[in-house]
A and B are shown apart, each in its own frame.
Chain A
């Protein structure tokens, strides 16, 4: 087959050509207007934007919309091209939410590994005081890229889980807007490429937060960082919009809001944040871009601007963003616990509403990142209270998890191990949070390695552990094979202790006075031994991820076949064959007649499947397939 029949190859080709054309066009334009041509920034930014657009045309994500705009009809659910091998579907535009979900997942795992690699490089630098093999600029760039590429990886991981699972769980044949769904996935690729290209364009040294005034005078790489985040944010907004509409309008008959699988609630709350708050990080980054390009003095005190404004706009997204990262993961924990404890989920409504409550309170806590910034002092105490309020709905979740486990018949295959690990790690993250949200202690802890330890806890407990659990758990649904149990357990037992060593070590050096985002530290502090331990632990985590990657690749081809309801789950997606058929429930509609998590209760029924053997009860005609 032809290499350029793959959408990805066409897209990248188009992006390279588009970038070149954009740069050339803007340079000529500026020369014609008599502006200095040796100043590359405007031309490079314009080229980057044109390149990203060219990618979207090249990959084919805009083809259908262009046809619609010109008044042509397009197929609603085009079948996969039979002349293409199955694997090739994942490298081009597909409108099937399951293909898109897996595309998100692969992108997420690749970006996680890349960002982890950046971390390993600069962790090795921190083993000894003094600079061994990194220049301060390269250290800063790697540290910043580790942060932002991880965030892109987590956002695509969240996209993977909600895209693959939500339509299957609510009995829909696809997402509400399949084309928008494909667009939202593919726009991540040029976004990630722009982010990574900053490494070769002078880098950027601000960390992932991009605060001015530093970001207003950082090298050219800064602009590509801004553009990359802007584009990944666009994907997040559109993906969130799609999830909200899908959940609200496309549920199976009988599935009221409080009878949805609990993960759908988490995805819904996440989508609300993604839809609205993401605009503000886009705006704040755009304003810095404009300040650099047009000299607009938003954040330039010499021109009457104010840098604190940036932090307000930025954190209005970037704190709720943390809940975007963790809520789906917490949803996975709530989803899997009853399956492996064989007991009803304790307090379903409380868990469902606590997700919404976390999302809502999340909008009113942003300034706790700014206690030391010099913002208006009267804002400190109100934001301290609102921040501590987040602990209430989070606590509800913990109580409910313990209530679910209590006296359950617990079995511990790999997914359950990761769920339990996630709970413990997230507990540590949760407990190390309030000291940062309290003004008095935060003034001490701000910008130390303690914070690094804290948020690695929340990210691992809220995303990484549940994400691995989700992969081990739904891998059979995606491929029809299960992953190797021994290797999975090896992955878990290698990663978990190493992670605790790493995060506790980070908190320890932080309390000893180690600052964040610094390439070097004073030998008199005596931190080198702990840094060595942390680095070794980080490499152990990387090793465990290698085990996972091997398991993943190996199991796709030659894992043990698992076509049925492997985990004895009551959720709709396990009532149909694995791998899930192309049109989900076409020909097998179901109606919801009971509560979703009544595991272990005799006679409890959640779904009535309406296939040829047991037709749906009269008056319960299922919604048509689309």
Chain B
């Protein structure tokens, strides 16, 4: 019989619930992105829309580096380093905005096709759009923890919101790790009308 000899405190129970809940949410969201990936493979197969490789690599690098600073922010607050936490969070936020501007403001402008131009156009805008939407929500989440951090919240013992934000942000990065090769690398590039 497995009776826990050391029952959890209310705060521990809450943390356990929160962690499991966030992972389940991520799992659920991953099914949606998986469906998008299936749609890409089903409709485009071994072709891909013709896209600018330099832009693709730069925005991917920006997102990866933002993930690095996100990890730094979480590690800092876990060791009680408030200043390091605030600086790294602000950098993550800026890089996240940079990614958004890179995709929506730049990539969407220079691509010669629109969402209505054939299946490749539709898939391109669906993949980048849904991902950018998640980046946007992540940026909002980052802004919330940055503001609350500036107001003096969070400590080494109590920073679940930071951990949640970090895990969500890394998840958004993971999605892009699949979407980047699926959009930019695999398949034969076809020019659209």
Say whether B53 faces chain A, with CB atoms less than 8 Å apart: no
List of B residues within 8 angstroms of A69 by Cβ: 144
User: Taking the complex as formed, is B25 at the interface, i.e. its CB lies under 8 A from any CB of chain A?
Assistant: yes
Mark A461-482 against chain B: 1 for CB-CB distance below 8 A, else 0: 0000000000000000000000
Partner of B20, one of A249, A282, A309: A249
User: A581 interface residue, CB < 8 Å from B?
Assistant: no
A504-532 to B contact mask, C-beta < 8 Å, 1/0:
00000000000000000000000000000
Residues of A within 8 A of B42 (CB): 306, 309, 312
Give the distance to chain A from B172, nearest Cβ to Cβ, in Å: 16
Contact A241 B28, beta carbon cutoff 8 Å: yes
Contact of B36 with A by CB under 8 A: yes
Cβ contacts under 8 Å, A237 to chain B: 28
Answer yes or no: A253 CB below 8 A from chain B CBs: yes
Known: A276-B28, A619-B3, A623-B7. A296 touches B125 (CB 8 A): yes
CB distance from A135 to the nearest CB of B (A): 33
**A245 interface hit (Cβ, 8 Å):** yes
B121 A280 Cβ-Cβ under 8 A: no
Contacts of B29 in A (CB 8 A): 279
Across-interface contacts of A591 in B (CB, < 8 A): 3
Give the CA-CA distance A621 to B27 in the complex, in Å. 34
Distance in angstroms between the alpha carbons of A296 and B127 in the assembled complex: 12
The answer, yes or no, to whether B43 is at the interface (CB within 8 Å) is: yes
Interface size class of B (residues with CB under 8 A): 35 or more
The tally of residues in A whose CB lies under 8 Å from a CB in B reads 52
Contact across chains for A295 and B116 when beta carbons are under 8 A apart: yes
Q: What's the nearest-Cβ distance from chain B to residue A591, in Å?
A: 7
- Chain B residues 22-48 with CB under 8 Å of chain A are 24-25, 27-29, 31-32, 35-36, 38-39, 42-43
Which chain A positions have C-beta within 8 A of B4? 253, 623
Contact B13 A313 (CB under 8 A): no
Q: Does B112 contact A (CB under 8 A)?
A: no
Q: For window 262-319 of chain A, which residues contact chain B by CB distance below 8 Å?
A: 275-280, 282-284, 287, 290-291, 294-298, 303-306, 309, 312-313, 316
Q: A279-B28, A296-B125 are in contact. Are A313 and B118 (CB under 8 A)?
A: no
B1, closest chain A residue (CB):
A254
A626 x B21 contact (CB < 8 A)? no
Q: Which residues of B contact A249 (CB under 8 A)?
A: 13, 16-17, 20
CB <8 Å contact, B7 and A177: no
Q: Does A244 contact B (CB under 8 A)?
A: yes
Assembly CA distance A176 to B23 (angstroms): 14
User: How far does the alpha carbon of A295 sit from the alpha carbon of B147 in the complex, in Å?
Assistant: 40
CA of A620 to CA of B5, assembled, Å: 7
- Report the Cα distance A306→B10, complex, angstroms: 52
Is B94 an interface residue, CB under 8 A from the partner?
no
The answer to whether the Cβ of A388 comes within 8 Å of any Cβ in the partner chain is no
A296 to B117 alpha-carbon distance, docked (Å): 7
Given the interface contacts A280-B32, A280-B35, A295-B116, does A624 sit within 8 Å of B17 by beta carbon?
no
A76→B14 CA distance, assembly (Å): 10
- Which of A287, A304, A624 has the most chain B CB atoms closer than 10 A to its own CB? A304
Q: Residue B122 at the A interface, CB < 8 A?
A: yes
Q: Which residues of A contact B (CB under 8 A)?
A: 69-71, 76, 176-177, 180, 237, 241-242, 244-245, 248-250, 253-254, 256, 275-280, 282-284, 287, 290-291, 294-298, 303-306, 309, 312-313, 316, 591, 593, 619-624, 626
**23 A/B residue pairs, CB under 8 Å, sorted by A:** A241-B24, A244-B24, A245-B21, A248-B20, A249-B20, A250-B17, A253-B3, A279-B28, A279-B31, A279-B32, A280-B31, A282-B32, A283-B32, A283-B35, A283-B36, A287-B126, A296-B121, A296-B122, A297-B116, A298-B122, A304-B43, A313-B39, A623-B7
Contacts beyond the supplied A296-B125, A303-B119: 8 A-B pairs with Cβ under 8 Å:
A241-B25, A253-B3, A275-B27, A276-B27, A279-B29, A283-B32, A295-B115, A621-B7
- Which 3 pairs between the two chains have the least Cβ-Cβ distance? A295-B116, A296-B122, A304-B119
Q: Which residues on B are within 8 Å of A, measured CB to CB?
A: 1-5, 7-10, 13, 16-17, 20-21, 24-25, 27-29, 31-32, 35-36, 38-39, 42-43, 115-123, 125-126, 144, 147-148, 151, 153
